[in-house]
Structure 1
């Protein structure tokens, strides 16, 4: 199951209700894992917004205390890759699980360390 359906299986939807309604997406659509054109358009907008927030955050990470930079850089890079995965799955995070794998996560952690210490 995809990330969005984990909450749906628990009877919860962690997405902006007003934006779902504007996009023509009902709770039942999500609970039933319907990946429609409306869902794809909605997710494109959510991903664009998320990337904007992540891009804004990049500029202040190295101003944080040194002992938290690595974790923050790693998290940011992992979230960017998850967004890429949702796009690669044609915005189907209702029925398909996005997984990076241990190797990719380890490499991302190393890249996060490099960015946090100014190596790259």
Structure 2
């Protein structure tokens, strides 16, 4: 935080400054990179381990990042959450993703 120019006082006061937004953009980019790695790893699991819940979690947590952005990076006074309708809409996609064979097995064909 100090490197980003954010003080403890800024955090405790819940200040959404230019520095905070820049910091959060970087953290969200980093989280998305980790989600991408997790998705690649989950895709390589055997079918029995590729549960729809794994894919649903990946999809929903990514959507939380989108909500943080939509809230102007104000996660001090605004809760970033995925509405129930969006959660339900993600379930069929997660289920279908869990049924797809790993990319490595598709390359071998």
On whether the aligned pair clears a TM of 0.5, the verdict is yes
TM class, shorter-chain normalised? 0.7 to 0.9
| Distance in structure 2 (CA, Å) of the matches to 1:77 and 1:86 | 15
User: Alignment partner of 2:45: what SS?
Assistant: coil
Alignment partner, residue 105 of structure 2: none
* Structure 1 residues 21-51: Cα deviation after superposition (integer angstroms, max 9, x where no partner): 1011122211221100000000000000000
Alignment partner, residue 71 of structure 2: 89
Alignment partner, residue 51 of structure 2: 69
Question: Segments of 4+ in structure 1 off by > 4 A?
Answer: none
Alignment partner, residue 23 of structure 2: 42
Structure 1 residue 62, shift from structure 2 partner: 2.5
CA RMSD of aligned residues (A): 1.7
Q: Which has more radius of gyration? A: 2
| Distance in structure 1 (CA, Å) of the matches to 2:97 and 2:86 | 16
For normalisation by structure 1, the TM-score amounts to 0.75
Count of aligned positions: 100
| Distance in structure 1 (CA, Å) of the matches to 2:99 and 2:9 | 46
Q: Is the 8 A contact 2:43 2:50 kept in 1?
A: no
- Structure 2 stretches of 5 or more lacking a match? 102-109
